[in-house]
Structure 1
Amino acid sequence: METVEDLIRDFSAKLGSIAGEFGVRADQIISSSRPAPGIAPSDGPPDLVARARGIIASRKARRKYFPSDLFHEPAWEMLMALFIIYEGEHTMNVKQLVSCSDAPATTSQRWIDHLHKSGLIDRVTDTIDRRRIDISLSERGHAAMVNYLKDVTIG
């Protein structure tokens, strides 16, 4: 008979596996995005999208050494993903964005609501399929990400 500790350990392992799968899916979405040319002004870093990708990669590298449940920042992960696709595709549907967050759908939905109320993202209902909602960085959110990525030093 399994003890409560065994059940918790098993449950944690399964959650870790699910989080890993979300990470893989997020990587696929992000890596399939087109690069964003000309996003940085001449006085800033030459490629802010590359910098954002580097931040995401370094965050994912932590999973090799630490339990993945130690570092949950779904809002940040969603903002980074939306920044990377800003110049190309510009939007993600809610399902794609949730897969980037490494968090349960309900948690991600709450963060999407919070980011929208904060004015960092825009939500637009698809005119053809009213069930589909497209999410993009707002102008305010994009400006905040650009300024952050100019300020942050990697490496």
Structure 2
Amino acid sequence: MSEEASEHHGRDRFVGDDGGDSRADPALEPQPEAFTALNQTPGTPPPGAELAAWLFMARRLREEVLGAHLFSDPAWDILLDVYAADARGEKIQISSLSPMSNVPSSTARRWAHKLIELGLLERERDERDNRLTYIRLSGEGRRRIMTFIGRLMAKGPPPPIMR
């Protein structure tokens, strides 16, 4: 991908903002019958539209910072939970990933191993009890999560949608 194409591909887009590009995807335009179904007046944004646009932008940013290979909610939940636990000074046992990411234990372990392979997490044995294994963000994992959060926060709150 050329530098110019890469720059355009990564541009943040919001509903109702064509960014000067008149080729906006018509599939992204709200359909009049959707407003009727929501009991909305045509021409007004549906409830939560600003948040939906912001979350869409956040998904694209997540892809840009962490890579497209992590499009799994369990992986994202694990990374965020481990990041938050680290900030609180808590340790996360591998066995606690299942309830926290709302997936079966085997799936949570599989994702933990994948994140370790990718260099985003690392294992840590309990010094007093070798049977316990903790996971934590690797330096690279911490850097990427902090990059994502910092860049997302720098974008500010969701902008209002103007019609």
The alignment's TM-score, normalised by the length of structure 2, stands at: 0.48
More helix by share: 1
The alignment's TM-score, normalised by the length of structure 1, stands at: 0.50
Larger Rg: 2
